[in-house]
């Protein structure tokens, strides 16, 4: 099995898993992953994670233009922007419309500079600081431009009224980090109004030092 065919299978396996567990629905969400030569595979526009076929994935050049396969997701600018922002640290990008992350993005008092509260160490370890970006029309290239202007340490954002986007060094880490983002967003939503004990500056500094985190 070639590198490309193996990656096609793994993208679809992860997509179906996310769909089956209710982390995305209908034809929402998109995944991309880079090949060694810089090209990347991405789920097609209008496709469902529950039924996407490896042969239908879009092959896209490193510069962002469509090479073969079905037409790529209209959110392609998000993916190319994260690859550009993160460089070698981005081997895959996942974008979902997961329920709790979207719920969090709707709240008017969320800090856009630090949208995901440090309730556990794992969100910091896998995501760093998560920014809340403003609302953009789906498919608007301005989303990609907004990502391109972020601090290069940024590996995850939540798009207001839309959903989260996560970049990881490889496909596994991008998916797992996305799952951590959704789990932490769920905790944040479910504990609103309660007297919680989030991690403080000392605990966060210890994590940064111990794991060399980009926060």
- Label residue 213 by pLDDT band (50, 70, 90): confident
Q: What is the pLDDT at residue 172?
A: 98
Mean pLDDT, the chain, as a whole number? Answer: 96
Per DSSP bridges, beta strands 131-133 and 156-159 are parallel
Q: What is the DSSP string of 169-195?
A: SSHHHHHHHHHHHHHHHHHHHHTTTS-
Q: Is 105 exposed, middle or buried (0-12, 13-18, 19+ CB in 10 A)?
A: buried
Torsion angle (degrees, nearest 10) of CA 12, 15, 21, 22: -140
Per-residue b/e over 6-24, b at no fewer than 16 CB within 10 Å?
A: ebbebbbebbeebbeeebb
Measured distance CA(54)–CA(50) in Å, rounded = 12
Measured distance CA(39)–CA(19) in Å, rounded = 25
Q: Is 122 a catalytic residue?
A: yes
Alpha-carbon distance values, 152 to 68, 83, 86, 147, 204 (Å):
30, 10, 6, 9, 20
Write down all domains in the chain, each with its CATH number in brackets: 3-211 (3.40.225.10)
Q: What is the pLDDT at residue 105?
A: 98
Q: What is the pLDDT at residue 215?
A: 81
- Label residue 103 by pLDDT band (50, 70, 90): very high
- Stretch 45-65: mean pLDDT: 96
Strand partners, 154: none
- Please tell me which residue in 19, 83, 122, 135 is annotated as part of the active site: 122
Q: What is the pLDDT at residue 212?
A: 87
Report yes or no: 69 and 54 within 8 Å, Cβ to Cβ: no
Tell the residue number behind the tokens 């994935």, with chain if given: 57
CA atoms in the 13 A half-sphere facing the CB of 210: 10
pTM, whole model, 2 decimals? 0.96
Report yes or no: 32 and 12 within 8 Å, Cβ to Cβ: no
Q: Which of 72, 121, 106, 132 is nearest to 189 (CA)?
A: 106
Q: Which of 45, 156, 19, 172 is nearest to 98 (CA)?
A: 19
Looking at residue 131, what DSSP letter applies? E
Q: pLDDT tens for residues 25-40?
A: 999 999 999 999 999 9
Q: What is the pLDDT at residue 1?
A: 75
């Amino acid at each position: 099995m070639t590198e490309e065919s193996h990656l096609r299978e793994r993208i679809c396996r992860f997509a179906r898993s996310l769909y089956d567990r209710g982390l995305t629905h209908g034809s929402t969400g998109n995944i991309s992953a880079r090949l060694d030569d810089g090209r990347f595979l991405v789920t097609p526009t209008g496709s469902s994670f529950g039924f996407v076929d490896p042969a239908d994935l879009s092959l896209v050049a490193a510069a962002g233009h469509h090479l073969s396969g079905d037409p790529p997701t209209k959110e392609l600018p998000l993916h190319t922007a994260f690859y550009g922002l993160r460089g070698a640290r981005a081997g895959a990008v996942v974008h979902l419309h997961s329920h709790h992350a979207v719920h969090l993005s709707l709240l008017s008092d969320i800090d856009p500079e630090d949208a995901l509260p440090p309730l556990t160490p794992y969100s910091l370890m896998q995501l760093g600081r998560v920014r809340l970006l403003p609302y953009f029309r789906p498919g608007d290239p301005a989303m990609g431009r907004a990502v391109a202007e972020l601090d290069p340490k940024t590996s995850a954002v939540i798009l207001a009224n839309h959903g989260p986007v996560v970049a990881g060094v490889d496909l596994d880490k991008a998916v797992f980090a996305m799952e951590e983002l959704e789990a932490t967003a769920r905790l944040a939503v479910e504990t609103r109004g309660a007297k919680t004990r989030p991690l403080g500056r000392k605990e966060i500094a210890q994590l940064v030092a111990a794991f060399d985190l980009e926060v």
